[in-house]
Amino acid sequence: MKTLTTNRRVLVASIGLVAVMGTLAACGSSSSGSASSASGAASSSGAASSSAAATVADVSMGIEPWIGYAPWYIAQEKGYFAAHNLNVKIVNFQTDADRNAAIVAGKTDVSNVDTGRIVQFADTGQPTVPLLLEDASVGADAILSDPAITTPQQLIGQTVSYEYGTTSDLLLHYYLNANGIKEDQIKSENVPAANAGALLIAGKSPVVVTYQPYIGEATSGANASKAHVLFGSDKAPGLISDWLIANKDWLAKNPAAAKDLIAAWNDSVAFYNSNHDEAVAIMAKGVGAKPADLTETLAGVKIYSGAEVKALVTSGELATQIKGVSDTLLIMGKIKNPVELSKLADLSNLD
């Protein structure tokens, strides 16, 4: 299994025949996923959404080892799927390409996908429908620099090291655009996010883009005097975030199951908020990490309930966030047309 922070951060992935074939193999392999248990604790907040006598809906869910998706493991462990008459098979993917191909081809019914990708799906007319904003980076991603660099204009002419085609790429372009700096005014260097902080500390690159836990490693302890956060994802709300999405054909046939999935998510988030240590232990096991390893990452990640997402919709904030992602992807040449929230998602089941 790859590290919990890397897979969902790839911005550009193909959806061709090879990827689809890879997905078919992944869905059929013993390592791809496991069916959720139908037993466990009752739902804490919304079990009444489906009667006990209702037909159990089978759902296949694509996932990768990112902590923002891990509340689904709480739903599995605590019986919230069963409480909402769902039998969910969580299918683990090792690459974004395979995960994306599976949901587009209908090999999985629902999936967990970053916002940059769902905007690209909408632009190219893929048969997917976002249902729920799950999480957002609120400091878990950042542009780091030599402490002498304190303003955006100081980036002009500097070398910026980051991993191309990832959410680091998205964050950097957002920052450049927000400050009127063109891409050709900086020098870019393609470096894995895991190595970027080390380059900064060693004095080999004055500006890097990375994410937790590498941010903490580069800016704390003995390294604190060598690097600082120039711009964090907490200053770009919703830019780096994730959604539960459904295959369009599946959704048309299973609207009740979609509603019940969101109810199970809401129960899981409620458990996370009220039983934090136990919840983190379940989530850590699900993504293949130790609870202590998630401290820095979770501090920079906001996990949303449906009610919180509804508040973002009502205030207009979510529409603004999607516009920010769309505008940045347009500048990067990743999409051809602007994408608006009103034409992107089905947010009718947030309660």
Using one digit for the tens of pLDDT, what is the confidence trace for 67-91? 999 999 999 999 999 999 999 999 9
Where do the H-state alpha helices sit in 125-275? 167-178, 193-201, 214-219, 248-253, 255-274
The separation between CA 199 and the C-alpha centre of its own chain, rounded to angstroms, equals 26
Q: 53 pLDDT band (50/70/90 cuts)? A: low
> Into which CATH architecture does domain 141-235 fall?
3-Layer(aba) Sandwich (3.40)
pLDDT digit string (tens) for 194-225?
A: 999 999 999 999 999 999 989 999 999 999 99
Report the pLDDT value the prediction gives residue 140, as an integer from 0 to 100. Answer: 93
pLDDT digit string (tens) for 120-149?
A: 999 999 999 999 999 999 999 999 999 999
| Single pTM value for the model | 0.84
| Residue 74 Cα distances to 41, 86, 350, angstroms | 11, 14, 19
Six-digit token string for 309? 């997402």
DSSP assignment of 103-121 equals: HHHTSSSEEEEEHHHHHHH
Report the pLDDT value the prediction gives residue 351, as an integer from 0 to 100. Answer: 73
Mean confidence (pLDDT) of the chain:
87
From start to end of the chain, where are the E strands?
33-35, 57-63, 86-92, 110-114, 128-137, 141-145, 159-162, 187-190, 207-211, 228-232, 241-247, 301-303
Six-digit token string for 63? 């996932």
CATH of 7-137+238-343, one of 3.30.470.10, 3.40.190.10, 3.30.390.10, 3.30.1490.270: 3.40.190.10
The residues of the chain that CATH labels 3.40.190.10 are: 7-137+238-343, 141-235
pLDDT digit string (tens) for 228-255?
A: 999 999 999 999 999 999 999 999 999 9
β partners of residue 243 = 113, 133
